[in-house]
């Protein structure tokens, strides 16, 4: 087998070098190689949603995405969500204010142990951005791929409804691409 050179993944606006093993998922590259541990490994089989990230602005499961297939894509993790409002292409800045969905999760007590939370928030941002918030049923259906063993579901839905309502009443409107 020919030796493959390391390749580059663009994560939260920064180019990062990743080892070229074809079996490595984006999830393992983030956590094991790049020390970006905000994205969680729950089931590692696409059944829990804890590893939800955004790839080119769309919610994706990092555990089922091979890193070699993601080069050239814009990958956004929970660490890069805060400043995504200002500039979707900017590097992560931990001093930036919380993303509105992060703030709403705190406001609504939308987590207990917190292990599923980064995945919940990444899906919630997409849920609101895609306008899937016309009813709690529509939110539930959109969020059904993000399991919460602490069962904070009512609070998660309340947080999403809150941000969606704010967005609808704001003259600027809209959650920018994260």
Partner 1 sequence: MHPLSYHRATSVSDAVTESSQPGAALIAGGTSVVDLLKEGSIGPSHLVDISRLALDEIRPADSGADDSGAHSGLDTGVLVGALVSNTALAEHPLIVERYTAVSEAVHSGATQQIRGMASSAGNLLQRTRCPYFRDPDQACNKREPGSGCAAVHGFNRMHAIFGHGYDPSEGVGPTTCIAAHPSDLAVALVAFDALVHVEGPEGARSIPVHELLRLPEGHPEADFTLRPGEVITELALPPFAGRSHYLKVRDRASFAYALVSCAATLEFDDDGRISRARVALGSVAARPWRLPAVEQILVGELPSAELFAAAAARASDGSVAFSMNSYKRPFSRSIVRRILSQTAGLEPLPGPPGTALSASVGGLAGTTRPRDELVGEAS
Least CB distance from residue 21 to partner 1, whole Å?
Answer: 8
Among 5, 15, 45, 171, indicate the residue that binds partner 1 (CB under 8 A).
Answer: 45
What are the tokens at 61? 């499961």
CA distance 58 to 150: 26
Query: CA 27, CA 75: separation in Å to the nearest integer?
Result: 11
Per-residue contact track with partner 1, 147 to 166, x per CB under 8 A?
--------------------
Q: Which of 82, 142, 158, 160 binds partner 1 (CB under 8 A)?
A: 142
Give all strands of the β-sheet with 52-55 in edge-to-edge order.
Answer: 14-18, 7-11, 74-76, 52-55, 58-61
Of 67 and 163, which has the nearer Cβ to partner 1? 67
The span from the CA of 79 to the CA of 137, in Å, is 29
**Cα gap 18→4, rounded to integer Å:** 11
> Would you count residue 136 as binding partner 1 (CB under 8 A)?
yes
Residues 55-94 interacting with partner 1 (rule: CB under 8 A): 58-61, 63-66, 68-69
Distance CA 131, CA 143 (A): 13
Nearer to partner 1, 29 or 83 (CB): 29
Q: What part of residues 22-41 is at the interface with partner 1 (CB under 8 A)?
A: 22-23, 25
Q: What's the CA gap between 115 and 160, in Å, rounded?
A: 18
| Binding span for partner 1 by CB under 8 A among 88-96, 110-118, 143-151, 158-166 | 143-151
Residue closer to partner 1, measured from CB, 136 or 167: 136
Q: How far apart are CA 25 and CA 175, in angstroms?
A: 28
Q: Which residues contribute to the site for partner 1 (CB under 8 A)?
A: 1-2, 4, 22-23, 25, 44-46, 49, 52, 58-61, 63-66, 68-69, 123, 126-127, 132, 135-138, 140-142, 144-146
């Amino acid at each position: 087998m020919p030796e493959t050179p390391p390749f580059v993944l663009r994560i939260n606006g920064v180019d990062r070098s990743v080892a070229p093993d074809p079996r490595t998922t984006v999830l393992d590259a983030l956590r094991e190689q790049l020390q970006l541990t905000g994205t969680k490994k729950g089931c590692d089989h696409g059944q829990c949603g804890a590893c939800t990230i955004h790839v080119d602005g769309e919610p994706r499961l990092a555990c089922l995405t091979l890193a070699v297939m993601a080069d050239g894509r814009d990958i956004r993790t929970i660490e890069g969500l805060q400043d995504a409002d200002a500039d979707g292409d900017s590097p992560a800045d931990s001093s930036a204010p919380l993303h509105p969905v992060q703030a709403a999760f705190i406001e609504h007590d939308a987590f207990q142990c917190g292990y599923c939370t980064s995945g919940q928030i990444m899906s919630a941002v997409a849920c609101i951005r895609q306008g899937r918030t016309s009813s709690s049923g529509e939110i539930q259906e959109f969020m059904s791929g993000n399991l919460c063993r602490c069962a904070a579901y009512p609070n998660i839905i309340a947080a999403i409804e809150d941000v969606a309502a704010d967005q609808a009443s704001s003259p600027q409107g809209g959650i920018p691409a994260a």
